[in-house]
Amino acid sequence: MKVYIKNKLWSIGGGSSVVDENKNDVFKVKGRAFSITKVKYICDLQGKRLFKVRNKWFNFFVHKAYIYDENKRKIATVKDKFFNTKGEYFVLGYKDEIKIQGNFFGLNSQILKNGETIGNINRQFSVISDAFELDADQDELPFLVALVIAIDNITDKKYKRG
């Protein structure tokens, strides 16, 4: 299933829209206003929180974001590398080995789970806001949307955007 994740241009907390190919809403992403760690909530269409994403407070050389489940348990740490020349990101603490390879802010990257491709992220060119196309199995979709939001948060903090 393909979904399109686009940061809202005018949003107090830094929310995003997540829509399918027919522009129907799939998830809601709500940001928290005045959040130093860029807290964002991934919710279903009824408003139930599925995941919480937030950046690490201080990052020295390796940047991190955390993903929490609906019960407020940290289920994953997303991080880059000290010299991230390949644009790779790693997910630690999750039940499976997850790796994002390719250049996240280039044209495309792959999401690997235990060595197998489970999704593709294609950056959509937009001058005014970040936009991504995520193609993944519907069962994996909620977590992978949280993963894209986490990597976008890391990249924004790393390059002091937003």
**pLDDT surpasses 70 at 52:** yes
Structure tokens at 113: 């789970």
Residue 58 has what pLDDT? 62
- Angle CA 162–75–89, to nearest 5: 55
**pLDDT surpasses 70 at 141:** yes
Instruction: Answer yes or no: are the C-beta atoms of 122 and 132 closer than 8 Å.
Output: yes
Sign of CA dihedral 111, 117, 119, 123: positive
Tens-place pLDDT, residues 94-130: 999 999 988 755 678 999 999 999 999 998 766 667 7
* DSSP notation for 48-85: -EEEEEEE-S--SSS-EEEEEETTS-EEEEEE--TT-T
pTM exceeding 0.95: no
Residue 84 has what pLDDT? 59
**pLDDT surpasses 90 at 5:** yes
Instruction: Answer yes or no: are the C-beta atoms of 57 and 68 closer than 8 Å.
Output: no
3-state SS class at 106:
coil
- Average of per-residue pLDDT values in the chain: 85
Q: Determine the straight-line distance between the first and last CA of the chain, rounded to whole angstroms.
A: 29
| pLDDT grade for 152, boundaries at 50, 70 and 90 | confident
**CATH number at 2-158:** 2.40.160
Residue 3 has what pLDDT? 97
Tens-place pLDDT, residues 10-45: 555 578 899 999 999 999 999 876 666 689 999 999
